[in-house]
Chains A and B, each alone.
Chain A
């Protein structure tokens, strides 16, 4: 919890109204983003993202499993976020649980799309090995190592980077062609399939303070927010999910305005992120 005096509160609010924030940024400027990939050797893909002092790690693990009865032609993707008590003493024990589940729900909403699988950032049909029998289960785990505001955007960036770092072993079906038997498979140790991440959206959180909204809020700024809207947007400029936080009401026209601002911001963020991921991959490979 951030405790601010009345003077400090006015200072933050006044600065935002004049488009000059405490750290010298404008309202729609992000802090520098640093990406590292391939940091966890045991995982199929991993990435660490730092924005200011916010530090998050995402790992992707792929395991062979059985597709669900309802959707035999799709693999499964599970997202779980863990808020470590190293980030904040308040996360100790069950303290971080509420925030963890809030972040997981928001990320699931933004990345997995609707029930039918349409509009998903991750194409689940590409995870199927044998329809109705074998598929890849993708476990995406996020860990908040240090929290300095704007966790959701950082996590979505980390997941995007981890997915582009993910190699899924290629699989050969060796036996079990008959219809009711579970087929046997051979997992290759050398051949990996790169994951297509062009459709994975980024999340832009707009925090409304006073009459204006800002991106990439620090904890001090977050403590002053009326409400925050997290909008996930993909390369095509389509909206893939919206989550609202904070209790205060918003006028519908403000929401639509936020969507168009988020669209503009997301383009820059995505370009920045892509170049960061590319340079991180190059460094990882060398």
Chain B
């Protein structure tokens, strides 16, 4: 197709699809690139037991964002570490080289590992495994927006699958602000031109926020609205995660009987 015209360049550049096409924000009838409603999340899919070698693992797919998380442990902490009566949590988030439109762009997200750690540590009962470490390794197979919220939700499911004691499942959702509109669960195109974002990580049954980040300029009523939107979505997401866990548990029971 590209070779058709004499004026159009014959070379293929993947940048063109990601950078320039800003959606016309100020039109009233703006619709999202994937034709969702502003307050409609992408369909979420979860499956536990994705990796056999791990103590627990989960795979999550939100639209085109695909992540896999495996949990190892609790296993003995490294010898160099000092004694502690509570367990340790070690998190790492990495991207495949082909996750992003431009190869190897995933290394831009170095802070994700520590953010995943902070989001999870409040939910795990660390006292239940003294002297040991739980490793959480997340791999983003395909990045298409809202990567960190998907990683966090998937990681909590993997922890539950590994049988690590937790106060509650952790669900995470982000909201972007584009012009006057608040849109939930943004995709990459929307994230690239957002005017602000809120990411909330919470334990829905306890109604507690474990992690919260806000960027961009927000007025108090707007932040209120955004937080409420996130919290509602988190509650719904946790329900989906719970059904996934129940299904895998009943499957395991069927197999053993």
Contacts and interface: CB of A to CB of B under 8 A. Distances in A.
Asked if chains A and B come from one complex, the reply is yes
Interface string B175-206: 00100000000000001111111000011001
A249 B210 CA distance: 4
A202 to B, nearest CB: 14
Interface in A186-216: none
Contact of A240 (B19, B192, B216, B231): B216
Interface residues of A, number: 36
Most buried by B among A114, A240, A245, A251: A114
B111 interface: yes
A119 B216 contact: yes
A234 B217 contact: yes
B96 to A, nearest CB: 22
B20 to A, nearest CB: 8
Contact of B217 (A105, A118, A227, A263): A118
Contacts of B114: 98, 101-102
A76 B76 CA distance: 45
Contact of B118 (A116, A119, A242, A244): A244
Nearest to A245: B118
A251 B207 contact: yes
B81 to A, nearest CB: 14
B217 A255 contact: no
A241 B212 CA distance: 10
B97 interface: no
A98 B110 CA distance: 11
A109 B202 CA distance: 20
Interface residues of B, number: 38
Contact of A250 (B111, B209, B219): B209
Nearest to A98: B114
A238 B209 CA distance: 22
Contact of B194 (A114, A240, A241, A244): A114
A113 interface: yes
A36 to B, nearest CB: 30
Contacts, number: 111
B252 interface: no
Interface in B94-142: 110-111, 114, 118, 121-123
A112 B212 CA distance: 18
A115 B209 contact: no
Contact of B227 (A113, A114, A256): A256
A251 B209 contact: yes
A247 B122 contact: yes
Contact of B15 (A69, A114, A247): A69
B216 A250 contact: no
A252 interface: yes
A115 B208 CA distance: 28
B195, B196, B215 — which one has the most chain A CB atoms within 10 A of its CB?
B215
Contact of B216 (A105, A114, A251): A114
A24 to B, nearest CB: 32
Interface string B6-20: 000000000100010
Most buried by A among B206, B210, B216: B216
A239 B223 contact: yes
A229 B111 CA distance: 17
Interface in A60-110: 69-70, 98, 101-102, 105, 109
B122 A248 contact: yes
Interface string A242-276: 11111111111001100110010000000000000
Contacts of A241: 213-216
B110 A249 contact: no
A207 to B, nearest CB: 15
Given A105-B111, A114-B196, A255-B212, A238 B207 contact: no
Contact of B218 (A115, A239, A244, A251): A239
Interface in A210-243: 227, 229, 234, 238-243
Contact of A242 (B203, B207, B213, B219): B213
Contact of B209 (A69, A70, A249): A249
Given A115-B193, A241-B213, 6 more contacts: A69-B15, A105-B111, A114-B197, A116-B194, A247-B118, A256-B220
23 contacts: A69-B19, A101-B110, A105-B111, A109-B214, A113-B216, A113-B217, A114-B215, A116-B194, A116-B195, A118-B217, A239-B223, A240-B216, A246-B118, A246-B122, A247-B122, A249-B122, A249-B203, A251-B209, A252-B207, A255-B227, A256-B220, A256-B224, A256-B227
